[in-house]
Amino acid sequence: MFKIFSSNPVHDPINKQAPATEIKKTTCYMCACRCGIRAHLREGKLVYIDGNPEHPLNQGVICAKGSSGIMKQNSPARITQPLLRKAGSERGNGEFEPISWEKAFDILTERLAKIRATDPKKFALFTGRDQMQALTGLFARQFGTPNYAAHGGFCSVNMAAGMIYTIGGSFWEFGGPDLDQAKLFVMIGTAEDHHSNPMKIALSKFKRAGGRFISINPVRTGYSAIADEWIPIKPGTDGALFMALMHELIRLEKYDAPFLKRFSNSSQLVCMDSGPEEGLFLYDPDSDPLNTDLPHNKYIWDETSQSAKPCFAKGTSPALLGEYVMGPGPHQGKKVVPSFELLKRQVSETTPEWAAAITSIPAERIRKLALEMADTAFGQEFELPIQWTDSWGEKHDSVTGRPVAFHAMRGLSAHSNGFQTTRGLAVLMSLLGTIDRPGGFRHKAPYPRQVPPNAKPPSSENDIKPNTPLAKPPLGWPTQPEDLALDSDGKPLRIDKAYSWEHPLAAHGLMHNVITNAVKGDPYSIDTLMIFMANMSWNSTMNTMEVREHLNAKNDDGEFKIPFLVVCDAFQSEMVDFADLVLPDTTYLERHDVMSMLDRPISEFDGPVDSVRIPVLEPLGECKPFQEVLIELASRLKFPAFTTPEGERKFKDYPDFITRFQTTPDSGIGFLGGWRGKDGDKPLRGEPNPNQWQKYAENNCVHQYHMPPEHQYMRNWNKGYLDFSKENALRQKNDPIMIAIYSDILQRFRLASTGKRPGAQPPEHLKARIYKYFDPLPFWYPPLEDEATDLTKFTLNAITQRPMAMYHSWDSQNAWLRQIHSHNYLYVNTATALKSGIADGAWMWIESQWGKVRCMARHSEAVDPGTVWTWNAIGKAESAWSLTNDADESKKGFLLNHLISEELPLGGFTVSNSDPITGQAGWYDVRVRLAPADENEPKETWPQVKAFEVPGMVLKKSGETK
């Protein structure tokens, strides 16, 4: 519990003499959902937060976290001044001296300027659950370091990349289920999670309208509690379920053949001859490629003329199945098949019986599920009388509704097989014809984007030069081995080995390997690591205890292996203790912020929406928004984008930067799309408007653009929409975005591993790995951890879920939310627990091959018998987050991370415990066993770790700082 209680209530609701309330609107950040809120202030003090009824996202709905923002503001764990670790003290002991911001900036400027002038990649910037990646990414690019990423690599990059490399969009911010028009909703691998309040609103309407909701999840929590049916599934096996569902749909010929022929690459011809074109699409040199990066000039097999034709030729009848030989022309004699034929072959053996043995879902249930999906998609098809024109100029009088909607997130993603699993879901949805159609999956601007988007990461040493911005953005979307971030010796250019042969499509980086790699000097050492808003010595890292040692590791000369560690956060945490320099951030109520179209906006299905935060309170103490820190550093370091031609500082502060920055000179595109143009009358594109912030303030902090109905569906191939998206820089081109049932991009990497493709080749020890996992068609394989584990000893899967009332580690300092969760249990199916001799509520051990943890058990029927689970990030180090040293969080709460390794020994070498394609952390792959704790053991969790108070933390009772 807190060390000091106040005897005065925060406010007295029955005091009739209470002074007038002032209401200020801003955007919540108690989780990543970004609901509109109203902050109620009396005499300048925050007394109440409620949902903004005029906000399009949450329409006034607020959750427990959102309304508890007031206690975050009053948290005793706030840090209030910059801190420098005392000379000679060990990291982790919390021995700091307060310093001024001027000194902090001087230290940083001097150090970073030296790195930038010599070897810019020695500076690494990694950020946690922030919402300003367009700014942090710009900062890294201008600095000239490739070593930048946000938290996506350990969160849900498989979900983003698997979908974007297939349909050009993904779930949550990028798209979602159209529950207003769906009849069947299948939620798989999603707990109380992203898109929280909008999902609750939509589910409530959907259920009231008679929709059927099926939840497929190892655990029945969160949204699953109101599902009509819960289908338990073994973690990491969702891909097998999708393979079996596709097997059934194709076997029964219940798929949307016209949709696949017109809008996907299903009918496009793949070369089957051995050699450099093997498994690749053939190209017609006489047709317009439309897009030189990802050309469209492929062939189909025309069943009428029995010959190959350019794929967009009019009057053809494309085949989906069969094997053919190319006639006269540049490819004469080559054997070809439509890619759908290859998909049919791929799923020919993945029967429901095959999947039942993997997933633990009975074969009969899988069969019925496939039928239920098909019957709803095709039996309940409907037309909306909306005229639209496709990319080939054909006019349509209506759009077809296929009312089966899906939603999936981390449950699919956080496995080392998550990319191919997500591809499986995207292809399944495509077979049902539910992509950007009424009742199915719908995109949100700026998506759909090209498959994949055209940004490429740095791909040679020449892209990284002293005192020069990176030639390319630090993060991108490779389409071929030549795009990988490798030096001339084939070694990774990045500290996290993203875009190396170990993880070629690592679109969000691998933050979970940065500390370990930097300490090992593999692939090289760095000088300065800057971490923003990520608890990398606790719940945001795997192998927690060893990573904490890594942070303190020294060379023989006594110098730290990571010489300088900068941590920016608003609260004292397990991570802050390890910093050399602490930069005190503001809360979300004390700063400007943007949810930008250049980044992760809050768009709706019917058009682009972006939003802002506007401070409702003054920053506490000397807290400074991290955005301001970046603008200040960028100005002092004279980054070109932040400096005038005369060498002067370009932007006064962050709000000024947001108002005046344009992606290229005079592009008219900036961070915010609302009220652009000198007079504020231009939406999305227009010259900077000095009054833009004011307009957002007057309009609920949000700008919503409604597209006409004819632009709202079929956007991958909707000419009107694609023209609109190009005009407004949502995309660079307006060519159609074909669904990649078959990924020739993956095949290029696979081909490189066989030596048949000219150009870059993987190193010998990774050839088999690339060949196996870069299958151009979805497939299921067991998570990599299974290979490294004795499954006869560690028989159970262990996963975490995110509680409704807390978001990551952010809320353990929140007096209201702690009353809901002050500690966590390990939830074990009753039969499983009893078999291990573990009573309900008893102390027990959970053990993996990597470590063990003592915790408390809770029997449950709402979990698959082969799986155990707990809430994420409730357990804390002693005294962290300003909790007392006997707080439940550190004595009864526990962290599953101790059981998970960041690396795996596989095939004679060590690799990241991640998806071999994207580098997504395999959080949910760990295997465990259980045992009761001995009666004589202490009744507290193990391992025990101590955190330390730091100078400047808020003393709650007096309101002073110490």
| Sites of contact with ligand SF4 (CB under 6 A) | 28, 30-31, 33-35, 58, 62-63, 65-66, 196-197
Supply the minimum distance, in Å, between the C-beta of residue 593 and ligand SF4: 13
Q: Which is nearer to ligand SF4, 34 or 121 (CB)?
A: 34
Supply the minimum distance, in Å, between the C-beta of residue 206 and ligand SF4: 18
* Helix boundaries (H) for 623-763: 626-636, 654-660, 692-698, 719-727, 744-754
Supply the minimum distance, in Å, between the C-beta of residue 810 and ligand SF4: 10
Q: How many CB atoms are located within 10 Å of the residue 605 CB?
A: 18
> From the CA atom positions of the chain, what is the Rg in Å?
27
Q: Which is nearer to ligand SF4, 32 or 186 (CB)?
A: 32
Q: How many CB atoms are located within 10 Å of the residue 361 CB?
A: 22
Please give the helix or strand (H or E) that residue 584 lies within, else none: strand 581-584
User: 215 - beta bridge partners?
Assistant: 187, 230
For β-strands 229-231 and 212-216, DSSP reports them as parallel
Supply the minimum distance, in Å, between the C-beta of residue 817 and ligand SF4: 10
Q: Which is nearer to ligand SF4, 205 or 793 (CB)?
A: 205
Q: How many CB atoms are located within 10 Å of the residue 54 CB?
A: 13
The closest residue (CB) to ligand SF4 is: 66
8 Å CB contact between 470 and 145: yes
Q: Which is nearer to ligand SF4, 35 or 132 (CB)?
A: 35
Q: Name the residue among 245, 232, 238, 235 with its Cα closest to residue 351.
A: 245
Residue whose token pair is 């019986």: 353
Question: Kindly report the CA angle at 192 between 186 and 198, in degrees rounded to 5?
Answer: 75
> What are the φ/ψ torsions at residue 528 (nearest 5 degrees)?
-125, 130
Q: Which is nearer to ligand SF4, 421 or 809 (CB)?
A: 809
* Helix boundaries (H) for 68-143: 69-73, 101-118, 133-143
Q: Which is nearer to ligand SF4, 34 or 512 (CB)?
A: 34
Please give the DSSP secondary-structure letter assigned to residue 633: H
Strand stretches in 280-332, DSSP E = 299-302, 307-310, 324-325
Q: How many CB atoms are located within 10 Å of the residue 808 CB?
A: 19
Q: How many CB atoms are located within 10 Å of the residue 230 CB?
A: 17
Supply the minimum distance, in Å, between the C-beta of residue 617 and ligand SF4: 17
Q: Which is nearer to ligand SF4, 547 or 612 (CB)?
A: 612
CA end-to-end span of the chain: 19
Q: Which is nearer to ligand SF4, 64 or 697 (CB)?
A: 64
The dihedral over CA atoms of 875, 513, 909, 765, expressed in degrees to the nearest 10, equals: 140
User: 406 - beta bridge partners?
Assistant: 186
Supply the minimum distance, in Å, between the C-beta of residue 52 and ligand SF4: 10
Q: Which is nearer to ligand SF4, 61 or 518 (CB)?
A: 61
Q: Name the residue among 521, 488, 484 with its Cα closest to residue 501.
A: 484
Q: How far apart are CA 56 and CA 27, in angstroms?
A: 12
Please give the helix or strand (H or E) that residue 609 lies within, else none: strand 609-613
Q: Would you tell me the crossing angle of helices 339-346 and 238-251 to the nearest 10 degrees?
A: 120
Please give the helix or strand (H or E) that residue 855 lies within, else none: strand 852-860
Q: How far apart are CA 381 and CA 256, in angstroms?
A: 11
Q: Which is nearer to ligand SF4, 155 or 722 (CB)?
A: 155
Q: Which is nearer to ligand SF4, 30 or 280 (CB)?
A: 30
What sign does the dihedral 188-211-61-446 (CA atoms) show? positive
Residue whose token pair is 């450099």: 276
Q: Which is nearer to ligand SF4, 63 or 337 (CB)?
A: 63
Supply the minimum distance, in Å, between the C-beta of residue 67 and ligand SF4: 7
Q: Which is nearer to ligand SF4, 65 or 410 (CB)?
A: 65
22: Cβ contacts below 8 Å, ≥ 6 apart: 40, 41, 42
Supply the minimum distance, in Å, between the C-beta of residue 811 and ligand SF4: 9
Supply the minimum distance, in Å, between the C-beta of residue 182 and ligand SF4: 22
Supply the minimum distance, in Å, between the C-beta of residue 611 and ligand SF4: 11
For β-strands 528-532 and 564-569, DSSP reports them as parallel
The dihedral over CA atoms of 480, 481, 487, 489, expressed in degrees to the nearest 10, equals: -160
Q: Which is nearer to ligand SF4, 138 or 199 (CB)?
A: 199
Helix then strand then coil, % of the chain, to nearest 5: 25, 20, 55
Q: Which is nearer to ligand SF4, 602 or 883 (CB)?
A: 602
Supply the minimum distance, in Å, between the C-beta of residue 589 and ligand SF4: 12
Q: How far apart are CA 27 and CA 154, in angstroms?
A: 25
What distances in angstroms separate CA 643 from CA 110, 167, 503, 690, one per listed residue?
Answer: 18, 39, 36, 19
Q: Which is nearer to ligand SF4, 31 or 311 (CB)?
A: 31
HSE-up (13 A, CA, CB side) for residue 903: 17
Strand stretches in 776-819, DSSP E = 796-801
Residue whose token pair is 């919503």: 704
Q: Which is nearer to ligand SF4, 34 or 854 (CB)?
A: 34
Question: Kindly report the CA angle at 573 between 570 and 578, in degrees rounded to 5?
Answer: 105
Q: Which is nearer to ligand SF4, 192 or 903 (CB)?
A: 192
> What are the φ/ψ torsions at residue 68 (nearest 5 degrees)?
-90, 10
